[in-house]
């Protein structure tokens, strides 16, 4: 995908304002984004492995070996949202889908919520066959901003104008010098820009250039469900965990005794 970002072509969002709003991506801060892994993780080596992973934004993490972890904000109820939403993000990011791993996002509506449900509010709902429609602009914008972080970091690393760079299949490419660098290789050189373009229309991919959206893509969660390794809420065990049950009255109008 070619880079079409020129000064003034997009409304820029200051870093502090960006951290307070959540329409797009924010810097991955602390361990908040690791919460889904740490809740039920008993293997200290796995915890260390997660903490060693390098982050770009609150929506995505990249390791130096090129693995891309995209967070899915919607519940997977058989409708395929665990594939559809990350795929929209990966499309705009120009990520190699074969290197993408999908995990559930933390329950933080300010970052991962969508305004598609109720104007002026951010909610994390999965209902009414509206998930993909609601999150479509959110995921496109977030993916484009993650791509911008990679492009701007590569431009600094190579000391070239960002307008000369393109991306394709998890690589940043500078055709003038015949250079290319993988997203994972860029991890040590990542620098968060002071401002990020607030992509709304310009700067997003033209639909005729889509390589993932509209294609038949195998669903990401099916293998774990078939093998029985998928973790559901009922599988979570925490220290000193207690259980609650609902006791119903045996007769209509009965009161607790």
Say which CATH number the domain at 113 has: 3.30.365.10
Residue with tokens 């810097």: 27
Domain that residue 189 falls in:
20-232
Using left for φ > 0, alpha for ψ between -120 and 50, and beta otherwise, residue 80 falls in left
**Sign of dihedral through CA atoms 212, 215, 221, 224?**
negative
Structure confidence at residue 249 (pLDDT):
82
Q: What pLDDT does 1 receive?
A: 66
Higher pLDDT pick, 45 / 173:
173
**Nearest CA to 12 among 202, 196, 200, 204?**
196
Residue 225 lies in a domain: yes
Helix (H, G, I), strand (E, B) or coil at 100: strand
Q: What is the tens place of the pLDDT at every residue in 134-161?
A: 889 888 988 998 899 899 999 999 999 9
> Is 64 part of a structural domain of the chain?
yes
Establish if 200 belongs to a structural domain.
yes
* 246 lies in some domain: no
Model confidence at 247, pLDDT cuts 50, 70, 90, reads: confident
Residue 62's DSSP bridge partners are: 54, 68
Domain membership of residue 257 (yes or no) is no
pTM: 0.73
Total tally of structural domains belonging to the chain: 1
112 phi/psi in degrees, rounded to 5: -105, 0
More confident residue, 123 or 158: 158
Q: Quick check: 4 and 164 in contact, CB under 8 A?
A: no
* 3-state class percentages of the chain: helix first, strand second, coil last, to nearest 5: 35, 15, 50
Residue 256 resides in a domain: no
Phi-psi region of 184 (alpha: psi -120 to 50; beta: other; left: phi over 0): alpha
Burial of 33 per CB tally in 10 Å (0-12, 13-18, 19+): buried
Residue 4: its pLDDT value, please? 55
Is 172 inside a domain boundary?
A: yes
Write down the mean pLDDT value for the chain. 77
Give whole-number Cα distances, 37 to 32, 40, 85, 160, in Å. Answer: 10, 7, 20, 38
Note whether residue 6 is domain-resident.
no
- Evaluate whether 69 touches 86 at the Cβ level (below 8 Å): no
Predicted confidence (pLDDT) per residue in 172-185, tens digit: 999 999 999 999 89
- HSE at residue 10, side-chain half, CA atoms within 13 A, is 21
The closest of 47, 49, 91 to 70, measured between CA atoms, is: 91
């Amino acid at each position: 995908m070619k880079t079409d970002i020129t000064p003034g072509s997009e409304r820029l969002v200051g870093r502090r304002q960006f951290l307070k709003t959540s329409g797009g991506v924010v810097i991955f801060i602390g361990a908040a984004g690791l919460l889904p892994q740490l809740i039920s993780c008993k293997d200290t080596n796995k915890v260390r492995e997660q903490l060693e992973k390098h982050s770009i934004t609150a929506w995505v993490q990249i390791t130096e070996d090129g693995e891309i972890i995209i967070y899915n904000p919607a519940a997977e109820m058989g409708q395929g949202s665990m594939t559809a939403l990350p795929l929209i993000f990966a499309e705009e990011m120009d990520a190699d889908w074969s290197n993408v791993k999908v995990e559930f996002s933390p329950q933080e509506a300010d970052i991962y919520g969508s305004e598609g449900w109720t104007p002026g509010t951010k909610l994390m709902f999965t209902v009414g066959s509206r998930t993909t429609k609601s999150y479509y602009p959110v995921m496109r914008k977030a993916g484009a901003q993650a791509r911008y972080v990679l492009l701007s970091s590569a431009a600094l690393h190579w000391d070239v104008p960002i307008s000369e760079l393109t991306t394709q299949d998890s690589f940043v490419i500078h055709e003038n010098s015949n250079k290319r660098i993988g997203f994972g290789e860029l991890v040590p050189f990542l620098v968060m820009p002071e401002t990020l373009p607030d992509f709304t229309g310009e700067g997003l991919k033209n639909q005729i250039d889509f390589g993932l959206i509209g294609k038949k893509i195998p669903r990401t969660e099916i293998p774990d469900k078939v093998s029985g390794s998928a973790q559901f809420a009922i599988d979570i065990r925490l220290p000193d965990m207690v259980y609650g049950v609902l006791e119903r009255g045996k007769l209509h109008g009965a009161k607790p005794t």
